[in-house]
Amino acid sequence: MGPVFFTLAAAAAAAPSPACPAVAPAYHAATTCGAGVSGVVRIPAVRKGLNNQRMRIVQDAVIAALLGAAVELPSFLRTRRRCGYRAGCYQDYEGTVPFDAVYDRERVVEGLRRAGVCVVDTRSEGRAPELAGALWPTTASQLGPGGDVARRYDLRGGVWSLGGEEDCCTKLVVDTRRSLDLLTSVNAAFSSARRIRRAAHEVSRRLAAATGRAKEHAAVAIHWRADEDFVRSAHGLDARAYARAACTALAGVARGRSSLKTLDVFVLGEADRARIRAIDADLRKHRSCPRFSLHAKATLGNVDEALASGPDGGDDVKGQVDFELGLRAAVFVGTQFSSFSALVALARRAEGRDSLMLDVDVADRLGLIFALTFPHDARRRTDAALSRLCRDVVAAHAAFGAGLAACLPPPRAGSSLAVHSFGHCEDCSHLMPSVCLDLDKADARHAAFVESTQIQAVVSRGFRRISCARVVQVVAERGVHRNPTTGEIYVVEDITDTGELRSSLRASLRAKLGNTPGDGARDGECSGSLSFSSINPPLDAPAAAGGRRCTLAVVTALFGSIDSLEHLKTLEPKHARLLEFENRLGAASCWIALVDFAAARRIAAMHGARRCHSVDHGPWRVVRVPKALQPFATAAQNTRIPKMLAHRFVPNARYLLYFDAKLHPSTLEWTWRLLHDELLARGSAWTSPRHPARGTPHEEARCVHLLGLASDAALSQLRAYAAAGLPRDAPLAEGEWHLRDLYRNESSALGCAWFDEYRRWGHRRDQLAFPYASWTLRGPDEQEATATSAVFLAEADAGAQFAHITRSRRYERSRKNSALCALASRRHGDEVMAYIRRGGDRPSVFSRARGVAGIAAGLACALLVRSRKRARRSMQ
């Protein structure tokens, strides 16, 4: 299901390739259908049989009516030609016929109007984009006013699709009385074309003459589907059980017509005389069968043969004659796993007539699924049956559980475990003097449990680093443990079940989302000559985000060729779990990856969409940033624009999570937990994590200067900040990720101030500018950050579920040399400030580093020479 992307004005003239994502055509249905109708659902011709297509059309029309939208009917329908029900060709639906060749359009439009569905003709070209993030099937109760889908999607002013040509056939669970009535009346609105009705009338007349009945419609009609396309395919039909069920059903009909010595049975379905004889033989093998006489179109003269040929003909067109005969029959015996029988029975129900279904199903329980989603039986129409319909559908097919998550009972409360490493006992000994002693006194049973269930997880995932301050809290609750194999020290932390998280998030969002935006600073011009007008529509607007009302915008930036997104094989299952979580939550996130030309070309080539300016990659909408928003000389510097000015890219979302492309979340739904724990619970406008290794921007400036990651401008920058009054102990934030409340003006003001400071100094280390920018925004009475500050610095391990995936070689070398940043003295603050004031002595430091490396190389050579000498002596 592909989200919608914005297009660049400069590329409007370029002809997109077929693989490029579609843009929603504009159409205001209210001008045709009235003020209460907004948006259009365009229904495609599904690559399935005619009745599967009808199922899709009916359900899409019902969904549109529940969402308050109009529908655009397909202009053509799919059909097979000269196939019958042979397994080798029953999926060949390349043939097409006009819609009017199968249905009477005028009658259909009028019937839909009476049912409450407005039909329009948008005359717009191109493929209508699909609603993003919606899992099918969904329940009717979620589609109504105030439902989760209605809150998350906005169809106004656009033409949308509820799925592609391959998406069939169960999309809706009618768990409300209104939706059930809509489904019944919409299906009944599809009247066959006049030529099909005439052929059905002629068959009925001939059948009456052949049976000697006074009435044309007195015969019993049975839809026979023990054909090879069901027997030899994955459906795995048991043909013998099918024939036995047919005899049982016909015997029940015969008992109700005891005055008839022989039951006249008309066989619906494409069957020639030889096939009719074979069906007759199969039925007579079972003693339960009554006395019967089989009839079919082939035995009466194929009056509908002309419907199978020509540009307006096909197997499915001719099969519509059987549909009409099933509607007219006095008694209809259907096959529950056939879309034909399900729709005939539903249409008969609209006229107040019952149907009888054979008591046999296929291996994939398709009959039960159709019976639940197209309920024609009065027993399935009670309020009690409707209330449990959602759970019954999931029980029939467990894969539906993702889309129907919101109507299922919440899972039982529980917890999962996260394993953290803090290296050695001495690392935190100043906070926990007895931590090593506690290891020897650990409860044996608890240690055994940890060994059996957690060591494997540690080996497969690796330890997550944790701060000593957090270790103190966790150890107080869980204790501390040692891996008996490696001797490493770790703690095990409880993670609250997502059910509790959803409840807390719902309450927080309900309280927050009712608030209005701030005074406009969010959209103010804070970026000098940069213009964001080329981004139209905005990336998180419903028209550009698959109709979704985006609550949380997740943004990353990939410029150049260093970082990359996760592989689709990894992302797709993560995306499915995210959608399931959001279906239960009732809020949507939109994921936007902003890229330059080099990164866009790499990703587009992976998808075979070489001329596209945006690509759908799992949950990510990969969007190319225009040149006008890349003013710097290097890709690394240009990534800071999406990072600091992300609020200019997503003007509609309430919350924003930005993280660097070198980070990959272990689970996508975890981003909601981060939002809950580190922003909503704190009441802050902006949350960034503390730096895990250095405490102040002065330490960071010294470090990056020593390592050659920044020029002397970094020291000049901190000297200027000190002169302006920035405290020596101003806290340092890690710039890998941050959270924002976009309705708080402090959030936008901080992003703007951060960018202005970064641009002012001209080097790549954006972490040096952030503490000063946040400090200047504090009020005169707020000299330091507190728990109630607009800017909150979380613990360094708050983003523990981010995995560092890609690093440049230069960064890896710098990381190995990071020991040069360490200070031996505990009074290192004075040394840091002295280094900042005098401008540092980087050449001598690197000389010492080279000397240390030379000593290590010399020792290695000496050991090698010594080992060679020993080897020679042993050989002698």
Whether residue 430 sits in one domain with residue 359: no
Average pLDDT over residues 713-729: 91
Whether residue 623 sits in one domain with residue 746: yes
Average pLDDT over residues 29-43: 89
**How many helices and strands (H and E) does the chain possess?**
33, 26
Tell me whether residue 193 is in a domain. Answer: no
Comparing 3-7, 508-512, 781-785, the range with the smallest average pLDDT is 3-7
Whether residue 446 sits in one domain with residue 326: no
The pTM is what?
A: 0.75
Tell me whether residue 402 is in a domain. Answer: no
| pLDDT(187) > 90 | yes
Tell me whether residue 836 is in a domain. Answer: no
User: Any idea what the CATH number is for the domain that residue 772 is in?
Assistant: 3.90.550
Residue 676 CA to its chain's centroid (Å): 20
Chain-wide mean pLDDT for the chain? 79
Tell me whether residue 195 is in a domain. Answer: no
**Residue 11 or residue 86, greater confidence:** 86
| pLDDT(170) > 90 | no
Whether residue 768 sits in one domain with residue 655: yes
Boundary residue ending a domain (364, 379, 404): 364
Whether residue 180 sits in one domain with residue 231: no
Tell me whether residue 538 is in a domain. Answer: no
Nearest to 552 by CA among 650, 683, 663: 650
What is the C-alpha to C-alpha distance for residues 392 and 376, in angstroms, rounded to an integer?
Answer: 16
What is the C-alpha to C-alpha distance for residues 82 and 313, in angstroms, rounded to an integer?
Answer: 10
Is 340:319 a contact under the CB 8 Å cutoff? yes
Q: What is the pLDDT of residue 738?
A: 95
Tell me whether residue 558 is in a domain. Answer: yes
**Residue 264 or residue 456, greater confidence:** 264
What is the C-alpha to C-alpha distance for residues 666 and 179, in angstroms, rounded to an integer?
Answer: 39
Q: What is the pLDDT of residue 169?
A: 84
CA distances from 860 to 655, 853, 855, 856 (A): 54, 11, 9, 6
Boundary residue ending a domain (458, 481, 496): 496
Helix (H, G, I), strand (E, B) or coil at 743: coil
Average pLDDT over residues 451-459: 37
DSSP 271: -
Boundary residue ending a domain (158, 188, 218): 188
Q: What is the pLDDT of residue 267?
A: 92
What is the C-alpha to C-alpha distance for residues 219 and 229, in angstroms, rounded to an integer?
Answer: 27
Whether residue 427 sits in one domain with residue 286: no
Average pLDDT over residues 428-439: 52
**Percent of the chain at pLDDT above 70?**
74
What is the C-alpha to C-alpha distance for residues 636 and 9, in angstroms, rounded to an integer?
Answer: 25
Q: Which two tokens stand for residue 164?
A: 């592609």
Tell me whether residue 56 is in a domain. Answer: yes
Is 733:643 a contact under the CB 8 Å cutoff? no
Cis-peptide into 137, omega within 30 deg: yes
**Residue 226 or residue 5, greater confidence:** 226
Is 396:431 a contact under the CB 8 Å cutoff? no
180 phi, psi to nearest 5 deg: -65, -45
339 confidence band (pLDDT: 50, 70, 90): very high
Q: How many CB atoms lie within 10 A of CB 211?
A: 17
Q: Are strands 655-659 and 737-741 parallel, antiparallel or unpaired?
A: antiparallel
Comparing 153-167, 208-222, 593-607, 713-727, the range with the smallest average pLDDT is 208-222
Ramachandran sector of residue 608 (left: φ over 0; alpha: ψ -120 to 50; beta: rest)? left
Q: Which two tokens stand for residue 259?
A: 């005055």
Whether residue 226 sits in one domain with residue 160: no
| pLDDT(457) > 80 | no
Task: Name every residue whose Cβ is closer than 8 Å to that of residue 866 and which is 6 or more positions away in sequence.
Answer: none
507 phi, psi to nearest 5 deg: -65, -45
Whether residue 758 sits in one domain with residue 614: yes
228-263 pLDDT, tens per residue? Answer: 778 877 788 898 999 999 999 999 998 887 777 788
Q: What is the pLDDT of residue 188?
A: 96
Helix (H, G, I), strand (E, B) or coil at 835: helix
Whether residue 708 sits in one domain with residue 569: yes
417 confidence band (pLDDT: 50, 70, 90): very low
Instruction: Count structural domains, the chain.
Output: 5
592 confidence band (pLDDT: 50, 70, 90): very high
Average pLDDT over residues 861-874: 67
Tell me whether residue 824 is in a domain. Answer: no
Whether residue 570 sits in one domain with residue 650: yes
- Residue 597 domain boundaries: 549-812
The top-scoring range by mean pLDDT among 172-186, 440-454, 515-529 is 172-186
What is the C-alpha to C-alpha distance for residues 527 and 642, in angstroms, rounded to an integer?
Answer: 12
Average pLDDT over residues 634-663: 90
The top-scoring range by mean pLDDT among 11-25, 103-117, 794-808 is 103-117
Whether residue 254 sits in one domain with residue 126: no
**Residue 203 or residue 131, greater confidence:** 203
| pLDDT(358) > 90 | yes
Whether residue 180 sits in one domain with residue 36: yes
User: Any idea what the CATH number is for the domain that residue 307 is in?
Assistant: 3.40.50
What is the C-alpha to C-alpha distance for residues 59 and 170, in angstroms, rounded to an integer?
Answer: 8
